């Protein structure tokens, strides 16, 4: 199965419940524009290197398109297309005035120096600057990119279009970024986890959690859950998993990662396990917060956690999702679970356009409000229609996009 098929299948399950016509389904699923560009740079040693960059603009019926930029060797058009469509439903589920887009470059960033990464980013923007912008399509960080990369994007974009901080979000706070943006995806995962536990009648302190991925999303999720006194028993990154049955010392492991180049390799205060073992731990909650497609029909039968919160985009393949749903596993879907990031990006964009900065408390309060309202709507729809949280979230998102499309006039 290809990545785009996965989002298409989830879309289809919801569309069946909504009795959408075939034509409407095709209209809503087909991306508006797809661009693939060659990005050539000179390496530090004078050699030439070429990479392929992508930007897919899926839908703009509810506002400018919004979506992250991923730097990873596995990036291809199919994956970017799938993630762009996911962004359309995500921005609609949390009801912020955006459409969906996504981009990426197929590159292993560990093979590049900082200067090479900057050259690559600037060359990519040279190629796509005329198809992005604050009223058109606004990139943001995703796997392999960060605030520094966003700062280069803004600077390069402004060389063509003049002062325009709202052309990209996830910027450093010193360069028109927003307080609370960096933590927002993980914080949002934490806020929604607490809401979910409350609805399920589970005590947070009795919910042992395993988190796969300790980058931006995984580490901020761990920090939030640790502060909420939820026992985080395992975390992992590319170097493997780290497990402690009676709970990890979250602040200790956060400090360790910070002091070791954001990497957990060598952490010795926990038992070393593999990433595969982490997914199959006997815990109450699993939070995949790294790559997509990590839970398939092969390992789904061995997943023991009764609750899965999808902090990563697309961590569960649809056939595994069906298997888990039949077993009664509660899954909080990516289009809601990790929507805190794009919500705080929206706050950053709004601040940039107002030329007025919000304080951290305001950002956190607004984030809590938006996510709580969205969670309540998704939860109520799922209870009322006896549907999974995923199908309920898709119905909410597709309904909003569909109405905007029809109201705006299709032809
Ligand atoms: P990141 O690059 O900051 O961190 C990724 C983490 O995954 C790192 O700890 C890395 O070591 C780990 N990792 C990489 N390959 C792995 C492997 N094979 N096995 C286990 N771990 C591995 O990325 P991020 O921004 O934290 O994004 C993580 C996920 O969350 C992605 O699916 C992304 O699309 C999604 N997401 C991110 C944001 C955001 O604001 N950053 C928002 C929404 C969704």
User: pLDDT band at 208, cuts 50/70/90?
Assistant: very high
Contact 120, 400 (CB under 8 A): no
* Residue 313 to residue 329: CA distance in whole angstroms: 18
Asked whether 173 lines ligand 1 (CB < 6 A), one says: no
Structural domain tally of the chain? 2
Residue 282 lies in a domain: yes
Q: What's 274-294 look like in SS3?
A: CHHHHHCCCCCEEEECCCCCC
Q: Decide which of 135, 164, 193 is a domain's last residue.
A: 164
Q: In what order do the strands lie in the sheet with 330-332?
A: 271-273, 240-243, 232-237, 209-212, 285-288, 307-309, 330-332
Contact 337, 309 (CB under 8 A): yes
Query: Percentage of residues in the chain with pLDDT exceeding 70?
Result: 99
Same domain, 209 and 266: yes
Q: For the segment 110-169, what is each residue's pLDDT rounded down to a tens digit?
A: 999 999 999 999 999 999 999 999 999 999 999 999 999 999 999 999 999 999 999 999
Residue 252 lies in a domain: yes
Contact 327, 77 (CB under 8 A): no
Full domain range(s) for residue 58: 31-164
For residue 12, pLDDT over 80 is answered with yes
Question: Beta 48-59 vs 99-105: how paired, if at all?
Answer: antiparallel
User: pLDDT band at 409, cuts 50/70/90?
Assistant: confident
Residue 77 lies in a domain: yes
Residue 108 lies in a domain: yes
Same domain, 196 and 325: yes
User: pLDDT band at 45, cuts 50/70/90?
Assistant: very high
Q: Given 32, 66, 90, 102, which residue is catalytic?
A: 102
Residue 44 lies in a domain: yes
* Residue 319 to residue 305: CA distance in whole angstroms: 17
Q: Decide which of 309, 332, 355 is a domain's last residue.
A: 332
Cα torsion angle, 11, 16, 22, 24, sign: negative
Same domain, 62 and 146: yes
Interval between CA 141 and ligand 1 midpoint (Å): 10
Residue 382 lies in a domain: no
Asked whether 213 lines ligand 1 (CB < 6 A), one says: yes
Residue 312 lies in a domain: yes
Q: Is 386 a catalytic residue?
A: no
**Alpha-carbon 70 to chain mean position:** 10
* Residue 311 to residue 404: CA distance in whole angstroms: 28
Task: Return the CATH number at 211.
Answer: 3.40.50.720
Residue 67's beta-bridge partner residues? 139
Interval between CA 406 and ligand 1 midpoint (Å): 36
Contact 223, 300 (CB under 8 A): no
Same domain, 188 and 302: yes
Asked whether 236 lines ligand 1 (CB < 6 A), one says: yes
Asked whether 348 lines ligand 1 (CB < 6 A), one says: no
Q: Decide which of 310, 332, 354 is a domain's last residue.
A: 332
* Residue 213 to residue 120: CA distance in whole angstroms: 25
């Amino acid at each position: 199965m290809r990545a785009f098929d996965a989002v298409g299948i989830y879309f289809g399950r919801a569309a069946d419940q909504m009795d959408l016509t075939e034509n409407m389904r095709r209209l809503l699923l087909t991306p508006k524009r797809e661009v693939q560009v060659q990005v050539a740079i000179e390496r530090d040693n004078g050699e030439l290197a070429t990479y392929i960059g992508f930007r897919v603009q899926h839908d703009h019926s509810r506002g400018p398109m919004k979506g992250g930029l991923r730097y990873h060797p596995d990036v291809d058009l199919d994956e970017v297309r799938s993630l762009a469509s996911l962004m359309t439903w995500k921005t609609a589920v949390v009801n912020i005035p955006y459409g969906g887009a996504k981009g990426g470059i197929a590159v292993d960033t560990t093979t590049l120096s900082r200067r090479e990464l900057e050259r690559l980013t600037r060359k990519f923007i040279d190629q796509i600057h005329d198809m992005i912008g604050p009223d058109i399509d606004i990139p943001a960080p995703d796997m392999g990119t960060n605030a520094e990369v966003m700062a280069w994007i803004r600077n390069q974009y402004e060389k063509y279009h003049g002062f325009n901080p709202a052309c990209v979000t996830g910027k450093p706070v010193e360069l028109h970024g927003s307080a609370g943006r960096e933590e927002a995806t993980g914080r949002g995962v934490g806020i929604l986890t607490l809401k979910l536990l409350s609805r399920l009648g589970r005590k947070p302190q009795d919910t042992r959690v395993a988190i796969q991925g300790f980058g931006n999303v995984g580490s901020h999720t761990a920090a939030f859950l640790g502060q909420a006194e939820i026992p985080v028993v395992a975390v992992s990154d590319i170097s493997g998993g780290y497990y402690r049955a009676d709970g990890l010392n979250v602040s200790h492991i956060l400090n360790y990662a910070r002091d070791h180049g954001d990497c957990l390799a060598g952490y010795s205060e926990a038992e070393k396990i593999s990433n595969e073992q982490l997914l199959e731990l006997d815990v109450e909650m699993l939070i995949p917060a790294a790559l997509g497609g990590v839970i398939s029909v092969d390992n789904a039968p061995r997943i023991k956690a009764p609750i899965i919160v999808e902090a990563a985009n697309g961590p569960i393949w649809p056939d595994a999702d069906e298997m888990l749903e039949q077993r009664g596993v509660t899954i909080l879907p990516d289009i809601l679970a990790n929507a805190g990031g794009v919500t705080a990006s929206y706050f950053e964009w709004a601040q940039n356009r107002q030329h007025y900065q919000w304080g951290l408390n305001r950002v956190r309060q607004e984030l809590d409000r938006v996510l709580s309202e969205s969670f309540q709507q998704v939860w109520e729809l799922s209870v009322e229609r006896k549907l999974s949280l995923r199908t309920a979230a898709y119905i909410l998102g597709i309904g909003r996009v569909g109405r905007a499309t029809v109201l705006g006039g299709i032809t």
